């Protein structure tokens, strides 16, 4: 009997997992990747260490309700056992999951070996410019005029984030051409430009901090972790987590402001990484008490010496303890703008999942089409949520495409944005 054929467009985390899953389910699979090699973005993840999943509570935005349904159907533990079954040893750092060797290249090599063993054909430098089809099959045409046809198609072209590692707005037209709507695209998990920017002499400093985002007197969100000071503003994971809310506040004309609380540099409490309650205590009085104690116990000596990085201590040296405590507990940095998608780690917006079945990732608008990964209007927080969604949705899409699973017709909850 002739094997069912599946075309996967996009050789990133989602597309490669779709390819393995479809081939394991018995399909003849061809992956089309526009770059010279597949998996370029995957190699850059987690600073090359590849934080591929997170066992904590789901933190998704965009159509978070859809993401929740996908994960209810295919939980993260199942992704981990699937990857281990494919031969990838994993390791946990608290809730974050990495390949045991802490190398993204190990994940990519494993997926490529698996595809090879399953005789999947991977065609690189094959940029798909048009895609036509429906229940009788699909034909993709590439920029250099080649055509590829198959019974079913998985679209996994990723998002704009990461600049040269990402796709372009034109690539979203493949889904639009088959009837899907694309919501406005922007960078989430992006650095934030501030006005004024931190002093140039501090640029490049990485500091442990709590960062709060304010609109007037209301604290919209607070995160803790490492902040990177730059000549345009601030970056680092905890800042990037605030980018989506900062952008929304800017769009609403609410003049958002960041305050950086550097008390974790001075006070002994352990620093949690991730979201913190917006009501976490203001540490100004504690910092002030510490400074006064040092002034008393080290007379004639700079009270900041040995407490702070030199460049920062130097900038604060001539100020009184009250002002130093105020600046170190809530250094105000008004938000100018959130850097565009090219600087972001993930794209907010994308194909509306309302047109997609979360159980199969099958299109409700174009039978035989399946969609996966960052292309969809789902974006996760830092910490493995985005790769996890790309891989899970890819596996579901690949399996369903191979089995010709039809989308369920039961109505789904969509549109919940958290
Ligand atoms: C610097 C950086 C670090 C990150 N770190 C992490 C992390 O540690 N943990 C985490 O969870 N997430 C991380 N992310 C996010 C994560 O990498 C992405 O969300 C994830 O890779 C999305 O997978 P995808 O398969 O949907 O898209 P991609 O991985 O982008 O793959 C899409 C593929 O499709 C190809 N393509 C696009 N258009 C076409 C076309 N027309 N024809 C043919 N091929 C096409 C692209 O070239 C690309 O290879 C990071 C992102 C960046 C930029």
Counting ligand 1 atoms within 8 A of each CB, the residue from 95, 167, 174 with the most, and so the one to mutate, is 167
pLDDT of residue 274: 83
Q: How large is the angle between the packed helices 64-73 and 385-403, nearest 10 degrees?
A: 60
Is the C-beta atom of 63 inside 6 A of ligand 1? Answer: no
Output the CA 402–ligand 1 centroid distance in Å: 23
DSSP annotation of 345 reads S
- As a whole number of angstroms, the distance between CA 70 and CA 389 comes to 8
Collapse the DSSP code of 127 into the 3-class scheme (helix H, G, I; strand E, B; otherwise coil) and give the result: coil
Is the C-beta atom of 171 inside 6 A of ligand 1? Answer: yes
Is the C-beta atom of 19 inside 6 A of ligand 1? Answer: no
- As a whole number of angstroms, the distance between CA 98 and CA 261 comes to 30
Is the C-beta atom of 385 inside 6 A of ligand 1? Answer: yes
**Which atom of ligand 1 is nearest the CA belonging to 388?**
11
pLDDT of residue 142: 98
Q: Is the dihedral of CA 77, 80, 85, 91 positive or negative?
A: negative
pLDDT of residue 2: 79
* Residue whose CA lies nearest to ligand 1 atom number 38: 157
Is the C-beta atom of 386 inside 6 A of ligand 1? Answer: yes
pLDDT of residue 405: 62
Output the CA 12–ligand 1 centroid distance in Å: 5
Question: In which residue ranges of the chain is pLDDT below 70?
Answer: 1, 405-418
pLDDT of residue 332: 97
In the chain, what are the domains? 5-187+346-403 (3.50.50.60), 192-338 (no CATH)
């Amino acid at each position: 009997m002739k094997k069912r054929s599946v075309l996967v467009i996009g050789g990133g985390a989602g597309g490669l997992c779709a390819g393995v899953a479809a081939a394991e389910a018995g399909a003849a699979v061809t992956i089309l990747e526009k770059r010279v090699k597949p998996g370029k973005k995957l190699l850059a993840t987690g600073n090359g260490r590849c934080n591929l999943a997170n066992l904590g509570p789901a933190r998704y935005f965009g159509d978070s309700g859809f993401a929740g349904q996908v994960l209810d159907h295919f939980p993260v533990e199942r992704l981990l056992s699937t990857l281990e079954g494919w031969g990838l040893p994993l390791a946990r750092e608290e809730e974050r999951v990495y390949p045991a060797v802490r190398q993204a290249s190990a994940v990519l090599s494993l997926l490529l070996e698996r595809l090879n063993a399953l005789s999947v054909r991977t065609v690189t430098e094959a940029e798909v410019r048009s895609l036509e089809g429906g229940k009788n099959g699909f034909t993709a045409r590439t920029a250099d005029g080649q055509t590829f046809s198959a019974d079913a198609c998985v679209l996994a072209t990723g998002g704009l984030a990461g600049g040269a590692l990402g796709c372009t707005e034109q690539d979203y037209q493949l889904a639009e051409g088959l009837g899907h709507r694309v919501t406005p695209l922007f960078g989430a998990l992006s650095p934030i430009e501030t006005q004024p920017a931190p002093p140039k002499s501090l640029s490049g400093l990485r500091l442990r901090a709590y960062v709060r985002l304010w609109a007037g007197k209301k604290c919209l969100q607070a995160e803790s972790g490492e902040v990177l000071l730059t000549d345009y503003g601030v970056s680092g994971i905890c800042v990037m987590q605030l980018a989506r809310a900062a952008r929304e506040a800017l769009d609403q004309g609410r003049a958002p402001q960041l305050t950086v609380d550097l008390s974790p540099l001075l006070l002994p409490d352990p620093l949690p990484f991730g979201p913190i309650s917006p009501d976490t205590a203001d540490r100004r009085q504690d910092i002030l008490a510490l400074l006064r104690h040092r002034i008393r116990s080290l007379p004639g000596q700079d009270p900041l010496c040995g407490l702070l990085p030199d460049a920062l201590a130097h900038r604060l040296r001539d100020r009184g303890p009250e002002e130093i405590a105020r600046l170190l507990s809530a250094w105000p940095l008004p938000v100018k703008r959130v850097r565009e998608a090219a600087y972001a780690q993930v794209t907010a917006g994308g194909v509306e999942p309302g047109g997609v079945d979360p159980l199969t990732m099958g299109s409700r608008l174009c039978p035989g089409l399946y969609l996966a990964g960052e292309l969809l209007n789902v974006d996760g927080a830092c910490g493995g949520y985005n790769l996890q969604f790309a891989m899970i949705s890819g596996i579901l899409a690949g399996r369903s495409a191979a089995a010709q699973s039809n989308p369920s017709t039961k109505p789904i909850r969509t549109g919940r944005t958290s």
